[in-house]
Chain A
Amino acid sequence: DSGVTQTPKHLITATGQRVTLRCSPRSGDLSVYWYQQSLDQGLQFLIQYYNGEERAKGNILERFSAQQFPDLHSELNLSSLELGDSALYFCASSSPQGGGSTDTQYFGPGTRLTVL
C-alpha cells in the first residue's frame, strides 16, 4: 500500500459526459501528479500540483482540468468525454525535493475509466 488513495476504482460513463476523479496523497506529500495510461499511448504525464499551485503541465487536453485543495487532495476533471479517453488514470505523490530534481513518486491504485 503506497498510502495514496484514489476514488472511484472504476467509472463507466457515456460520451459527452463529465467525471471527477479524486486523489489523496500520502501524508506529508505536497506534490500530486496525474497520469493517463492507455494501451496505445502508454503512461502519459498530465499535470503536477505542488502545495495547491500548478507546477508542471504535460499532455493534458483542454477538456481536462485539475486542482489541488488546501488539504492537499486533488481532483482531475474530465469533460466532454470521448471514447478515446477510456484509460487508467493514476495519481502519484512525492515529498518536496530540492535542487529541481524529481524524487520517488508513490502511485495510487488508479481509476479505470470506461467511456461507452
Chain B
Amino acid sequence: SQQGEEDPQALSIQEGENATMNCSYKTSINNLQWYRQNSGRGLVHLILIRSNEREKHSGRLRVTLDTSKKSSSLLITASRAADTASYFCATDPIQGAQKLVFGQGTRLTINP
C-alpha cells in the first residue's frame, strides 16, 4: 500500500520559478527521502531527512518535515528545464516489513 501521497499530482511552471511539492504519510517514520525519476529511467536519490530533523538543504533543494502533521515538502528554487521529472517521496516506516514506501509522485514540468 502507498503510505506517501504527493500533492499536486502534476505541476507545470515557468523556468526560473520555484516549485513546491508536498507529501503526506500515515505512520511514524525513521526518515523520509525524496527521489527524482526522469521518464522511464531509474530513480535518483535527492535528499534524506531524518525524523528528528525539521529542515534540510541541498543546493537548490529545500526539504521540510513536520512529523506532527506527518507531512513533508520539497522546494526547488530557480527551476531549470532539466528539473522536469517525476518526484517521489519515500518513507521508511518504523514498523512493518516494508522498506521505503513510495508515493505516487508529482510530475513536474518546467516550461522554457
Contact = CB atoms under 8 A, between A and B. Distances in A.
B110 to A, nearest CB: 22
Contacts of A107: 35, 42-45
Contacts of B25: none
A35 B42 CA distance: 11
A45 B105 CA distance: 15
A112 B99 contact: no
A103 B45 CA distance: 11
A102 B31 contact: yes
A58 interface: yes
A43 B88 contact: yes
Nearest to B97: A56
A108 interface: yes
A13 interface: no
A100 B97 CA distance: 11
Question: Chain B: interface residue count, which band?
Answer: 20 to 34
Contact of A102 (B92, B103, B104): B92
Nearest to A88: B40
B58 interface: no
A107 B100 CA distance: 12
B75 interface: no
A105 B100 contact: yes
B27 interface: no
Interface in A71-116: 88, 90, 92, 99-110, 112
6 contacts: A4-B42, A56-B99, A101-B50, A102-B30, A105-B43, A108-B42
Interface of B: 2, 30-31, 33, 35, 40-45, 48, 50, 88, 92, 94, 97-105
Interface of A: 2, 4, 33, 35, 42-45, 48, 56-58, 88, 90, 92, 99-110, 112
Going nearest first, the 9 A-B pairs with the smallest beta carbon separation are A101-B30, A107-B42, A43-B102, A102-B92, A107-B43, A56-B97, A109-B42, A42-B104, A102-B99
